A and B are shown apart, each in its own frame.
Chain A
């Protein structure tokens, strides 16, 4: 599983998290009582605000809902279970679910286990141009049956690191609106991608401003570094408050048979941080620290490859964003990297940028150079 690493190659507990944890540990006024089924209220409200923005019209119009979940995975699963029961009819397991090609491998299992029978892919990664296959993506959306569900990565696409530009998102939204396709956002890297929370939430907010009803599964694993506390949130945006109320009441039923009520520790840490202006500012700094290190590693890797004259173009390394990068190395080149250079990539050529450090940049760049020049 992928997690952030410092320049020393070590896990990093955000200083603000450490501070808040110690505060919680010292507060003997706190107990371990059950949270409500939908989770800690302050967490839910603030988590959704982070995704949608304080000034979101949907929040102002009281037509959003939130379900605290066990990480981003848990949020996806609750959303999927709800959609299978209530979307496009009752218990319509035949509604097509579209997942990007490639995507996080667990997406498929989440929707299969939620009961959907027709999981498809939509074109996304263009290996030849090492970028987004926008034409293929839009074509697949045009051809998709109406009311199909589309899993969209809000930012820092996993595993390619390739996101649509705002203009491309607008085109995507236009097709989805015309074809009545349901947007289910997976937002696991807000803040972690560009270093800016608002920038990383642009796509979700654009869809909201275009009047879509949507789900957004949020994870606080990476941007809070709270991996093992399982902090996530399913944000629901609907047309009106009454719809939200009924949707949440049915989501409660699903939660009740899955985990009854969510774990309190991680939600407390996030809620405490988001509700304190000072801690919130500290958190944003910590997030920027992580994002900046990754951005630096990207630019350093690219400049080394270009300086080495490594065949091919390498701007995709800095065009891509987030934890992962699709280097464009083919399986044989990847095998060379692993066997000869002991650098571990996925067979897809996916590299975890967090594994790069100032100490190993030269070695990694030289190794990629060798792989590309020696192996075709």
Chain B
């Protein structure tokens, strides 16, 4: 019997099963924070990962979250498993938050919402569900650009990625005609992913009239719409305004699927609170869809973690806490809007001749500065300012204390 070369390598007692395993590339988004942590420059700024910071640059735990946590701790509840689909009070409240309490789809019960592991986990459940049950197409159309993790999520779920024009680098705003042109040519019954608000990474959102036109085309092309809503409330400060597109599409008779995250709008990042929703024809269909979602979730992690969902549920379902939450999420959104304004005025003060209007036109946590990779590299190397290579900054990482430094640095690398 002849032993093949590879078998000799594999079965040598000294060799590892893993000798051919390549070193994975550092994760572009979370890797930025790790590099930032290693930097010893006192002026360093982390404009990488999208986590909100207060005006002192510190993580912010919402007061309503603290109150909810105290209430939960006092109740001394047991630690029994949640159902596979998660905490019912949470999933119901999450659906209502997205759809609106007056939504026909919500009131009729023709939806299923399952708890997911924040935005990523919810997106992945949906992607796996579509791979298994959406037989019309394997293609998911993402806006160009999209959140970096969208592509590997859908790919690992077994789907293929395509793109439609979205961001216009010349104007740093929406390429609406390009988007409409591309979307109108997407093969029927493909899957299209839309960012509900505060597009990541560009911060560029369609206006309501533009959403209306997109909905009409999407409906005409009979596309399966997948909304990713990670910033409801966090974008404009108004939860209803930020959910407008989602609600409009549903009202137009488009049965969307939706991933929600509470990482940013409730500051519950590490508790992994999210939800995945399927709008169905009727409540009976919703039950069947739910049963299949359970079959997908069970071999992934059995059932979801309770802590964050309990906090979110208490906040959404208690009138006082909910009121307080709405005020706090608005204040986070307002601080970000104010930083955008200050950044632009500081750039003008530095003497920059570029047009920086896109910084204040864009919305949400992120801003596509328009900086090129070489300029980004200089910002990191010369000024210890960390951001992703695409020139995206997390405005949440800007404070009144460092906005001047940031403007100065940007001016230096762009003048």
Q: Is the CB of A106 within 8 A of B69?
A: no
Q: Is the CB of B270 within 8 A of A263?
A: yes
Given contacts A37-B30, A113-B300, contact A257 B149 (CB under 8 A): yes
Q: Is the CB of B272 within 8 A of A259?
A: yes
Give the residues in chain B near A18, CB-CB below 8 Å: 76
Q: Is the CB of A246 within 8 A of B120?
A: no
Q: Is B269 interfacial (CB 8 A cutoff)?
A: yes
Given contacts A25-B73, A230-B301, contact A243 B118 (CB under 8 A): no
Q: Is the CB of B79 within 8 A of A243?
A: no
Residue of A nearest to B6 (CB): A89
Give the residues in chain B near A21, CB-CB below 8 Å: 73
**Per-position 1/0 for A211-234, Cβ under 8 A of B:** 101000000010001111110000
Q: Is the CB of B270 within 8 A of A238?
A: no
Q: Is the CB of B305 within 8 A of A228?
A: yes
Give the residues in chain B near A32, CB-CB below 8 Å: 59, 61, 65, 267-271, 308
Residue of B nearest to A219 (CB): B302
Q: Is the CB of A33 within 8 A of B270?
A: yes
Given contacts A263-B308, A265-B307, contact A33 B79 (CB under 8 A): no
Give the residues in chain A near B34, CB-CB below 8 Å: 36
Q: Measured between alpha carbons, how far is A109 from B294 in the docked complex, in Å?
A: 12
Q: Is A110 interfacial (CB 8 A cutoff)?
A: yes
Give the residues in chain A near B69, CB-CB below 8 Å: 25
Chain B's interface size range is: 35 or more
Stretch at the interface among A47-55, A137-145, A154-162, A248-256: A248-256
Stretch at the interface among A67-75, A165-173, A330-338: A67-75
Q: Is the CB of A3 within 8 A of B21?
A: no
Q: Is the CB of A263 within 8 A of B27?
A: no
Given contacts A31-B59, A33-B51, contact A106 B298 (CB under 8 A): yes
Q: Is the CB of B271 within 8 A of A77?
A: no
Given contacts A32-B61, A113-B300, contact A227 B305 (CB under 8 A): no
Q: Is the CB of A249 within 8 A of B23?
A: yes
Q: Is B18 interfacial (CB 8 A cutoff)?
A: yes
Query: Among A13, A106, A239, A258, which residue has its beta carbon within 8 angstroms of that of B121?
Result: A258
Q: Is B8 interfacial (CB 8 A cutoff)?
A: no
A257 CB to nearest B CB, Å: 4
Q: Is the CB of B124 within 8 A of A258?
A: yes
Q: Is the CB of B18 within 8 A of A34?
A: no
Query: Among B72, B296, B305, which residue has its beta carbon within 8 angstroms of that of A263?
Result: B305
Residue of B nearest to A253 (CB): B24
Q: Is the CB of A265 within 8 A of B23?
A: no
Q: Is the CB of B78 within 8 A of A86?
A: no
List B11-34 residues whose CB lies under 8 Å from chain A: 11, 13-24, 27, 30, 34
Q: Measured between alpha carbons, how far is A238 from B304 in the docked complex, in Å?
A: 30
Q: Measured between alpha carbons, how far is A106 from B295 in the docked complex, in Å?
A: 10
Give the residues in chain A near B22, CB-CB below 8 Å: 246, 250
Q: Is A87 interfacial (CB 8 A cutoff)?
A: yes
Give the residues in chain B near A3, CB-CB below 8 Å: 80-81
List B300-346 residues whose CB lies under 8 Å from chain A: 300-308
Q: Measured between alpha carbons, how far is A256 from B149 in the docked complex, in Å?
A: 8
Q: Measured between alpha carbons, how far is A207 from B159 in the docked complex, in Å?
A: 39
Q: Is A22 interfacial (CB 8 A cutoff)?
A: yes
Q: Is A260 interfacial (CB 8 A cutoff)?
A: yes
Q: Is B152 interfacial (CB 8 A cutoff)?
A: yes
Give the residues in chain A near B307, CB-CB below 8 Å: 229, 263, 265-266
Q: Is B299 interfacial (CB 8 A cutoff)?
A: yes
Q: Measured between alpha carbons, how far is A265 from B269 in the docked complex, in Å?
A: 11
B342 CB to nearest A CB, Å: 25
Given contacts A32-B269, A34-B270, A263-B272, contact A77 B299 (CB under 8 A): yes
Q: Is the CB of A73 within 8 A of B302?
A: yes
**Per-position 1/0 for A1-36, Cβ under 8 A of B:** 101000000010100011001100100100111111
Give the residues in chain A near B13, CB-CB below 8 Å: 211
Give the residues in chain B near A344, CB-CB below 8 Å: none
Residue of A nearest to B301 (CB): A70
Q: Is the CB of B121 within 8 A of A73?
A: no
Give the residues in chain B near A74, CB-CB below 8 Å: 300-302
Query: Among A1, A31, A109, which residue has its beta carbon within 8 angstroms of that of B81?
Result: A1
**Per-position 1/0 for B73-109, Cβ under 8 A of A:** 1001011111000000000000000000000000000
Q: Is the CB of B27 within 8 A of A229?
A: no
Give the residues in chain A near B121, CB-CB below 8 Å: 258-260
Q: Is A367 interfacial (CB 8 A cutoff)?
A: no
Residue of A nearest to B26 (CB): A249
Residue of A nearest to B65 (CB): A32
Give the residues in chain A near B10, CB-CB below 8 Å: 88, 147, 180
Give the residues in chain B near A87, CB-CB below 8 Å: 17
B37 CB to nearest A CB, Å: 10
Q: Is A134 interfacial (CB 8 A cutoff)?
A: no
Give the residues in chain A near B180, CB-CB below 8 Å: none
Give the residues in chain A near B59, CB-CB below 8 Å: 31-33
Q: Is the CB of B24 within 8 A of A250?
A: yes
Q: Is the CB of B24 within 8 A of A263?
A: no
Q: Measured between alpha carbons, how far is A108 from B20 in the docked complex, in Å?
A: 27
Residue of A nearest to B300 (CB): A77
Given contacts A11-B78, A11-B79, A113-B300, contact A36 B30 (CB under 8 A): yes
List A98-134 residues whose CB lies under 8 Å from chain B: 106, 109-110, 112-113
Give the residues in chain A near B51, CB-CB below 8 Å: 33-34
Residue of B nearest to A11 (CB): B78
Q: Is the CB of A230 within 8 A of B18?
A: no
Q: Is A319 interfacial (CB 8 A cutoff)?
A: no
A221 CB to nearest B CB, Å: 8
Give the residues in chain B near A252, CB-CB below 8 Å: 24, 27
Q: Is B70 interfacial (CB 8 A cutoff)?
A: yes
Q: Is B153 interfacial (CB 8 A cutoff)?
A: yes
Interface residues, chain B, with chain A CB atoms under 8 Å away: 10-11, 13-24, 27, 30, 34, 49, 51, 59, 61, 65-66, 69-70, 72-73, 76, 78-82, 117-121, 124, 149, 152-153, 155-157, 263, 267-272, 295-296, 298-308
Q: A3-B81, A221-B81, A258-B117 are in contact. List 4 more A-B contacts (CB 8 A).
A: A110-B299, A227-B79, A230-B302, A247-B18
Q: Jot down 18 A-B pairs with beta carbons below 8 A, ordered by A.
A: A1-B81, A17-B79, A25-B72, A28-B61, A31-B61, A32-B59, A34-B30, A34-B49, A70-B301, A71-B303, A86-B21, A113-B296, A221-B81, A229-B306, A245-B23, A259-B120, A263-B305, A264-B270
Top 3 closest A-B pairs, CB basis?
A70-B301, A249-B24, A109-B299
